Amino acid sequence: MTGERRALIIANGEYDNPGLSALRSPAADAEALAAVLADRNISEFDVQVVRDETAHVIASRVEDLFADSASDDVLLVHFSCHGLKSESGELFFAARNTRPERLASSAVPADFVQRCMRMSRSRSIVLLLDCCYGGAFSEGVAVRASGEANVLDAFPGGGFGGRGRAVITASNSIEYAFEGDQLADDHVRPSVFTSALVDGLRTGDADRDEDGWIALSELYDYLFDSVRERNPNQTPSRDIEMQGELYLARSRRRRIKPAPVPADLRAASEDPNMFTRLGAVTELQRRLTSENLSVAIGAHEVLTTMAQTDIQHLAEAADLARREARVRTEPEVVRFGEVVRGARPVARIRLEGPPIARACRFEASHPWLLVTEIADGAEVSLDLAEVGAFEGRITVTGPTGEAVVRVEGQVVQEPEPAPDPKPVPEPRPVHTPAPTPEPSRNPEPPVLPKPEAAVPARPKRDPFAVAAGLFAFAAAVYLVVIASQFSSSVEDFFEDGGWTVLPLVVFAIGAGIAMFPPKTRRMAGPGTLCGLALLSVMPSGPVVLVLADGCLLVAAVCALVSVRRDRSFRLGLGKPRGALTVAALVCGTCGALGLVVEAIELVGYSSSRADEGAVYLVVSVTLVIGTLLGVSLRPAAFGVAFLGGVAGGGIVMVCALFYAMPSSSSVTGAGWGIALAMVLALAVVTGLAARKVKG
């Protein structure tokens, strides 16, 4: 399949209406699911997360996802929120601004989502509903509904014109039972379903047939068994209409089928001559280290047979040979030591030995022990809230055996800051003398200030993101200093070309600032800085600008390192689509053509201007490449930010090239005018795209 894989995760846990109880799991579930879906080693989805938004924002993002799809795209939508049933039995998904008595205008109708699915051109749509269909209302809310409605009734099959769609729900029915203003039934919170979904994809346990791929049908079977095991009162349900199988993710649980050893080697391993059999052991040991796992496991089976049936001397040699392929880990014990409550420390387990010994999967003994498989082993993290010692184990299983890694440590309480011991004096009115209190045998202790409410810890800033912002600021400061040295007056400043560095100063400061706020330092900041560095670094020019160019390049490299260290998303390339994408490509191409026209005009004016014309050509090619990258980079938010940086860098370069143009009537500057208009238009198109793509 050549289409894109796009996922929209909608998580609503906070609600403005006091009657809708807050849900703790959607935020954490959204973060975990986004990480596993965006992991290139698992599924490579382009993931967008919508958290605690209003109904119209959610509806807009849902419609955009389905409307902008192609026939070979794979679309996945995940709802984690309250599911509400109206008086007439219609299903709605609660948003932040939802009012239970006004569902039609303040919630997202399931019928709307169904219509969007029918209108989509995609032939592979998966809808996952992890919604709390009961327990939505607190005391004092006059919402009355009764009876039972099947969740899948809101998404009836048929009418998809041959396209495939699947709906999987965390539970099957919606039941409200109120007595007055009290909720009579007890319902579970929505977290078991999504946690099972994440575990099945991350560990590969959902790959039931162990063929290396997790199919949709396998995923549902795993979810059903896992959810029922954790909570027998919750039953996932499904309605799937697809031709063929849809594979959602890869797994490392691929069953290795042994390849038969060559006939002459098999005969040598069974030859009556013990020296011939000993030579066979040597050859089998060599095949055991093969990159071809089927060849290696075939050799391992023959060595195992010889170790169990041959004479002692040869059995020991065969056993020694096969033990080289046993499962080995480094370390054998993971000691976290003292862990502050709420922290998420990470340790790494490395697999050793030949390839067949590293083809393993990992299984944790406790739910708080989180294991993520990586290329050469696994990363282990903790999710513990209780203070005290902990001990667990991770079973590492491979084709040649298994090993157990112990995990131990102790969770400690974070020390609270000591309160200020100084009492706060009561203010006295100036015009009224304070009465003298009579002595008391039991004077009251001085009133101490109340401890402030705990402030949530801010996310740690990545040092490379900070470095990128500082280098961008350094480039801007250096440019200001250089520009101020060009001339002694404002008139001379503009005549001597000092103004040409001002756009770069503004854009560098803006990109540097974007590397610090949490909302922009993940995608918008790095994308803008990389796009700006691509075009603003002049291929030729004054030597004094080399330091500024170097600072911008270093800032862009640091920003890319910061992006690479963020495991919640991975950069990739996708197929350009949409009207704004076409507009951006037109603007970038026309701007490049304008620079080419100006280069031709300069060379025609004077052959000595050939070097300057070459600069125009280099900038034009870079502008086209930058535009193509901007519309192709995924996630889309990073690509739009990159395109904005390209537009800013294009403005900088066009301004610099204008100053270098000769003052002659034979040089019209028409190409320069076209280039300037197009890069400005590209900036406008980028702004429109930024309003549509959030993140």
Residues 509-531 have pLDDT tens digits of 988 898 888 778 777 888 888 88
Higher pLDDT, 460 or 586: 586
The DSSP line for 346-389 is: EEEEEEESSHHHH--EEEESSTTEEEEEETTEEEEEE---S-EE
Q: Tokens for 154, please give them.
A: 């809101």
Q: How many helices (H) and strands (E) does the chain have?
A: 20, 24
* Residues 287/293/294/297 CA torsion (nearest 10 deg): 60
Which SS3 state, helix, strand or coil, does residue 239 take?
Answer: strand
User: Quick count: other Cβ atoms within 10 Å of Cβ 695?
Assistant: 19
Backbone angles phi, psi at 550, to 5 degrees: -65, -40
Band (602; pLDDT cuts 50, 70, 90): confident
Which runs of consecutive H residues, i.e. helices, occur in 343-390? 355-358
Residue range 558-583: average pLDDT? 76
How far is Cα 133 from Cα 131, in angstroms, rounded to an integer? 6
Instruction: Judge whether residue 654 has pLDDT over 90.
Output: no
Greater model confidence, 585 or 545: 585
Determine what percent of the chain is predicted with pLDDT higher than 70: 78
The pLDDT confidence band at residue 185, using thresholds 50, 70 and 90, is very low
CA pair distance 530, 557, nearest whole angstrom? 8
> What's the rounded Cα separation, in Å, for the pair 7 and 122?
13
Cis bond upstream, residue 517 (ω within 30) = no
pLDDT band at 302 (very low <50, low <70, confident <90, very high): very high
* Average per-residue pLDDT for the chain: 79
User: Has this prediction a pTM greater than 0.85?
Assistant: no
What confidence score (pLDDT) does residue 496 get? 59
Q: What mean pLDDT is predicted for residues 251-255?
A: 72
- Only one residue has tokens 């100006």, namely 598
Percentage of the residues of the chain whose pLDDT score is greater than 90: 20
Say which residue, 373 or 168, is predicted with more confidence: 168
Residue 323: CB atoms within 10 A of its CB come to: 14
